[in-house]
């Protein structure tokens, strides 16, 4: 058998910690279901001790998602580990991932612990975690800025205490590939019991080197890579799963034929699902999953691809599930056709939710001639926003007056935390006027950081997709809105962003109850 590289997905934990990427429990379950279809080996479902919401998400994923090992992060504290153990009770296969910082700067300024205290905490945490599962991962937070001799001692003690996976995080994205490879070699050469565990890496992208560092580590003997869909994560993000996996597949000659268990045809739909859930966009030139990843405009390139695809494409779009043709549904399409297309796009819902999506689908089909995949995904995104009661702000009604000789004026009626409010405002255009009216009704003025709008599909009857990024009470959030009316799409995006900011603010306040919080 070919040697295997295990894929540890932390989209739902490290990825979700990034500003603007918080998810509800239902959204996390949907994402975890698709990650299982993708074939990841481990799903880090959350940080169970961080908040009640995280605990519920880990618990539901552990109970409902089958296939991958389900993992919860936990600080090297008995209370965190115990909560993680309880959350993972329903898992078919479970792992506790406990960690503590090992760099001098973290030990002195964050932990306020001596190296000997860190060693003792490591032994205690790993030993205690074994009361809940035999699969224990231990991470040396900020490993790439740790003193090597001390790092070796911590790893050795963690293995003696029962760790089965040792993770080497480049927590702040500090490493350069060559030196990271040297560090991996040094660990293999200086930790006497390292052969008893799987060695893992978790790289951040602060210098744009997360994928390069991860692949270098694999070349030096690491056999688990921690990554996220679309590379989301703290600050500049994590190593992008799709890039790591496809590099190993396309350049298997360079990596000695190493394999993963990833069903690469599910990559694109997994990326799209994450975008829909989080209200984020992938930049067009993003490797593997960007809109331009397989697009050719230059005449020379077009001629080459038409003559032989491999002249300018090193992988087939179909290998990552990239759509080569559009499946078009219309007003005469039935429930079965829609349900089949939903499944092909990677979505699985119960009959009640499918019925609601179908009703929206028929309404949309009456407004436009053709309904494309992008339209269907937009309907699904709208349904996600209704699955859980997490919309403190709702627009009940709005009306706009605008024209060549008219000052754009909007009147809105909104519901905020159950209380209805009405306001009228003017603006530089119909969208600006409507947004200002909503702000006036609420008595708030979030800082707008970005606004964009694009047509999802061809023709003048296309749905418009608006994206808003704003900051509200110190929390940054992005929102999306989709409608055939560009004003309504923009309003929906603004409201979505406000709601996500409020939800994230609550989430952050809950997490602050967790002391000494760190990330790997």
Domain layout of the chain by residue ranges: 6-278, 393-509
| Dihedral sign computed on CA atoms, order 154, 158, 159, 163 | negative
Which mean pLDDT values do the consecutive 10-residue runs of the chain (520 residues) have?
Answer: 87 90 88 97 96 94 98 97 98 98 96 97 98 98 98 98 98 98 98 98 98 98 98 96 98 96 95 86 89 64 57 82 66 80 76 86 78 75 58 89 89 91 94 93 89 79 83 83 88 88 74 62
| Dihedral sign computed on CA atoms, order 312, 318, 323, 327 | positive
pTM exceeds 0.85 = no
The answer to whether the beta carbons of residues 196 and 163 sit under 8 Å apart is no
CA pair distance 407, 429, nearest whole angstrom: 8
Main-chain phi, psi angles of 102, to 5 degrees = -125, -5
How does pLDDT run across 208-234, given as a tens digit for each residue?
A: 999 999 999 999 999 999 999 999 999
pLDDT, residue 517, reads: 56
With H, G, I as helix, E, B as strand and everything else as coil, classify residue 457.
Answer: coil
With H, G, I as helix, E, B as strand and everything else as coil, classify residue 213.
Answer: helix
The answer to whether the beta carbons of residues 408 and 426 sit under 8 Å apart is yes
CA pair distance 360, 518, nearest whole angstrom: 43
Buried (b) or exposed (e) across 193-219, using 16+ Cβ within 10 A?
Answer: ebeebbbbbbbbbbeebbbbbbbbbbe
Question: What are the distances in angstroms from CA 25 to CA 70, 175, 284, 349, 403?
Answer: 15, 34, 29, 15, 44
pLDDT, residue 327, reads: 53
Q: How many CA atoms lie within 13 A of 514 on its CB side?
A: 24
CA pair distance 241, 153, nearest whole angstrom: 30
CA pair distance 442, 425, nearest whole angstrom: 12
CA-nearest of 246, 224, 243, 245 to 232 is 243
CA pair distance 431, 409, nearest whole angstrom: 10
Q: Does domain 6-278 have CATH number 3.40.50.300?
A: no
Look-up: residue for tokens 């549904």? 329
Q: Quick count: other Cβ atoms within 10 Å of Cβ 310?
A: 11
CA pair distance 274, 287, nearest whole angstrom: 16
Fold classification of 393-509 is: Double Stranded RNA Binding Domain (3.30.160)
CA pair distance 359, 376, nearest whole angstrom: 12
With H, G, I as helix, E, B as strand and everything else as coil, classify residue 291.
Answer: coil
- Token readout for 187 is 């660990």
Residue 131 sits at the vertex; the CA angle it makes with 107 and 52, to the nearest 5 degrees, is 70
Burial class from Cβ neighbours inside 10 Å (0-12, 13-18, 19+) for residue 2 reads exposed
């Amino acid at each position: 058998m070919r040697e295997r590289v295990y894929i540890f997905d932390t989209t739902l934990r490290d990825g979700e910690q990034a500003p603007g990427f918080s998810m509800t429990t239902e959204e996390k379950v949907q994402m975890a279901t698709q990650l299982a279809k993708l074939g990841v080996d481990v799903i880090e479902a959350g940080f169970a001790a961080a908040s009640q919401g995280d605990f519920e998400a880990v618990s539901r994923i552990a109970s409902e998602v089958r296939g991958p090992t389900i993992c919860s992060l936990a600080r090297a504290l008995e209370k965190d580990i115990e909560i993680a153990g309880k959350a993972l009770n329903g898992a078919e296969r479970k792992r506790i991932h406990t960690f503590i910082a090992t760099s001098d700067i973290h030990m002195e300024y964050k932990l306020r612990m001596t190296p000997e205290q860190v060693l003792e905490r490591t032994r205690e945490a790993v030993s205690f975690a074994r009361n809940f599962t035999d699969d224990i991962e231990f991470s040396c937070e900020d490993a790439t800025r740790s003193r090597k001799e001390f790092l070796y001692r911590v790893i050795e003690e963690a293995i003696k205490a029962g760790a089965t996976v040792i993770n080497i995080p480049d927590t702040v994205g500090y490493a350069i590939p060559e030196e990271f490879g040297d560090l991996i070699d040094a660990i293999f050469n200086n930790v006497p019991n390292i052969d008893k565990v799987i060695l893992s890496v978790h790289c951040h992208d602060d210098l744009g080197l997360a994928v390069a560092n991860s692949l270098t580590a694999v070349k030096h003997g690491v056999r688990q890579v921690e990554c996220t869909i679309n590379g989301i994560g703290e600050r500049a993000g994590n190593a992008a799963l799709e890039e790591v996996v496809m590099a190993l597949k396309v350049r298997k000659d360079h990596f000695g034929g190493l394999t993963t268990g990833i069903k690469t045809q599910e990559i694109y739909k997994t990326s799209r699902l994450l975008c829909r859930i989080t209200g984020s966009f992938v930049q067009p030139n993003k490797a593997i999953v960007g809109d331009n990843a397989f697009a050719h405009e230059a005449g020379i390139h077009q001629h080459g691809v038409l003559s032989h695809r491999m002249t300018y494409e090193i992988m087939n779009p179909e290998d990552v599930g990239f759509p080569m043709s559009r499946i078009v549904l219309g007003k005469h399409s039935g429930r079965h056709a829609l349900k089949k297309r939903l499944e092909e796009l990677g979505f699985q819902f119960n009959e009640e939710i499918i019925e609601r999506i179908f009703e929206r689908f028929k309404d949309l089909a009456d407004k436009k001639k053709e309904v494309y995949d992008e339209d269907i995904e937009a309907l699904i995104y709208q349904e996600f926003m209704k699955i859980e009661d997490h919309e403190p702000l709702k627009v009940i009604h709005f009306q706009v007056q605008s024209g060549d000789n008219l000052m754009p004026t909007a009147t809105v009626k909104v519901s905020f935390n159950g209380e209805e409010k009405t306001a009228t405002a003017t603006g530089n255009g119909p969208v600006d006027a409507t947004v200002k009216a909503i702000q006036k009704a609420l008595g708030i003025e979030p800082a707008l950081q970005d606004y964009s709008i694009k047509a999802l599909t061809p023709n003048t009857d296309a749905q418009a997709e608006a994206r808003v990024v704003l900051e509200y009470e110190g929390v940054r959030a992005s929102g999306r809105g989709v409608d055939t009316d560009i004003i309504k799409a923009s309003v929906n995006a603004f409201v979505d962003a406000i709601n996500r900011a409020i939800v994230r603010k609550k989430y952050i306040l809950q997490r602050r109850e967790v002391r000494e919080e760190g990330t790997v």
